[in-house]
Amino acid sequence: MIATTEKIEYGKEIIEFELLQEDRKTLSIEVLPTTKIKVKAPENKNKQDIIKKVQNKAKWITKQKRYFVDNYKKPDEKKYVSGECFRYLGKQYRLKVIKSNADSVKLKNGYLAVEYCLKTPSKLIDKWYKDKALSTYEKELDKCFQQFTTYGLTKPNLKIRKLTKRWGSYNKNSNTITMNIETIKANKDCIDYVIYHELCHCMYFAHNKEFYTLLESKCKDWSKRLE
Ligand SMILES: [Zn+2]
């Protein structure tokens, strides 16, 4: 049996999968609830052919993954109890949950302090992240867009969503940047990097040389920001 890690590209997404070549006759593709992808193939089958077959199934794989992300609760998921760590703008905060007579979420002395009454702590924290994400991204988009005004572009609309694999994306038809809510957990340099990246897509659709030249001119240390 040979086990390797392979990848295919689907749209802007890179799909990684584990390939097991073993004594069997058929090819099987399985998406696990953890969103890991396992491909089993006959030992003597050419790797390029296998990858091609997986590529043909990319749409189905993506759909499966999305299903699991939406429906499967990972074991390490937050319990929303005091002492747990939550990330916000690149820093860690310990959660302090207090039953109270009003709902509120605040950053206080290095803590993420949640007082809850009508809503559950998890709902309150989700909403807090969402609000912070929207206001922060909007501010950063305004700032970053200053560097793009010379191209005669209209400032893109901003949307936030829970994206599974990406920090952001750009849709040319609706001139909309969709930012991952989770990106609010990264520091501002990273957030700006994602925004610069998506703004460069207003000019170039593909990740081609022109795209990276432009990105580099706007965000000089872009490659470092990803480390
Ligand atoms: Zn891109």
Residue 104 falls inside a structural domain? no
Domain boundary among 71, 92, 112: 71
Extended strands (E) in the chain: 2-10, 13-22, 28-31, 37-42, 85-88, 91-99, 104-108, 111-116, 157-161, 168-171, 176-180
Instruction: Please say if the pLDDT value at position 41 is more than 80.
Output: yes
Ligand 1 centre distance from Cα of residue 90 (Å): 22
Compute the average pLDDT of residues 94-119: 96
Give me the amino acid identity at 136.
T
Q: What's the pLDDT band for 210 if we cut at 50, 70, 90? A: very high
Pair 61, 135 in one domain: no
Residue 165 falls inside a structural domain? yes
Instruction: Please say if the pLDDT value at position 39 is more than 90.
Output: yes
Question: Any residues with CB less than 8 A from the CB of 5 and at least 6 apart, and which?
Answer: 16, 17, 18, 19
Return mean pLDDT, the chain: 90
Ligand 1 centre distance from Cα of residue 162 (Å): 17
Ligand 1 centre distance from Cα of residue 92 (Å): 28
Domain boundary among 31, 49, 71: 71
Residue 178 falls inside a structural domain? yes
Residue 135 falls inside a structural domain? yes
Ligand 1 centre distance from Cα of residue 158 (Å): 16
Ligand 1 centre distance from Cα of residue 209 (Å): 12
Ligand 1 centre distance from Cα of residue 199 (Å): 9
For the chain, what percent of residues have pLDDT higher than 90? 67
The C-alpha atoms of residue 137 and residue 143 are separated, in whole angstroms, by 10
Ligand 1 centre distance from Cα of residue 62 (Å): 18
Pair 67, 144 in one domain: no
Instruction: Please say if the pLDDT value at position 73 is more than 80.
Output: no
Instruction: Please say if the pLDDT value at position 227 is more than 50.
Output: no
Of 147-151, 157-161, 221-225, the one with minimum mean pLDDT is 221-225
Domain count, the chain: 2
Contact 21, 12 (CB under 8 A): no
Residue 21 falls inside a structural domain? yes
Q: Is the dihedral of CA 48, 53, 57, 61 positive or negative?
A: negative
Ligand 1 centre distance from Cα of residue 130 (Å): 23
Ligand 1 centre distance from Cα of residue 106 (Å): 34
Ligand 1 centre distance from Cα of residue 212 (Å): 10
User: Domain containing 137 — which CATH number?
Assistant: 3.30.2010.10
Ligand 1 centre distance from Cα of residue 28 (Å): 31
Compute the average pLDDT of residues 80-100: 94
The C-alpha atoms of residue 51 and residue 5 are separated, in whole angstroms, by 11
Ligand 1 centre distance from Cα of residue 12 (Å): 7
Domain boundary among 71, 96, 113: 71
Ligand 1 centre distance from Cα of residue 81 (Å): 37
Pair 135, 221 in one domain: yes
Of 64-73, 125-134, 152-161, 166-175, the one with minimum mean pLDDT is 64-73
Q: Decide: helix, strand or coil at residue 87.
A: strand
Ligand 1 centre distance from Cα of residue 63 (Å): 21
Most confident of 20-34, 128-142, 178-192: 128-142
Ligand 1 centre distance from Cα of residue 169 (Å): 7
Instruction: Please say if the pLDDT value at position 72 is more than 80.
Output: no
User: Could you tell me the residue range of the domain that residue 143 belongs to?
Assistant: 129-225
Q: What's the pLDDT band for 160 if we cut at 50, 70, 90? A: very high
Residue 25 falls inside a structural domain? yes
Instruction: Please say if the pLDDT value at position 74 is more than 80.
Output: no
Residue 201 falls inside a structural domain? yes
Per-residue pLDDT, 42: 93
Residue 100 falls inside a structural domain? no
Ligand 1 centre distance from Cα of residue 123 (Å): 31
Instruction: Please say if the pLDDT value at position 122 is more than 80.
Output: yes
For the chain, what percent of residues have pLDDT higher than 70? 93
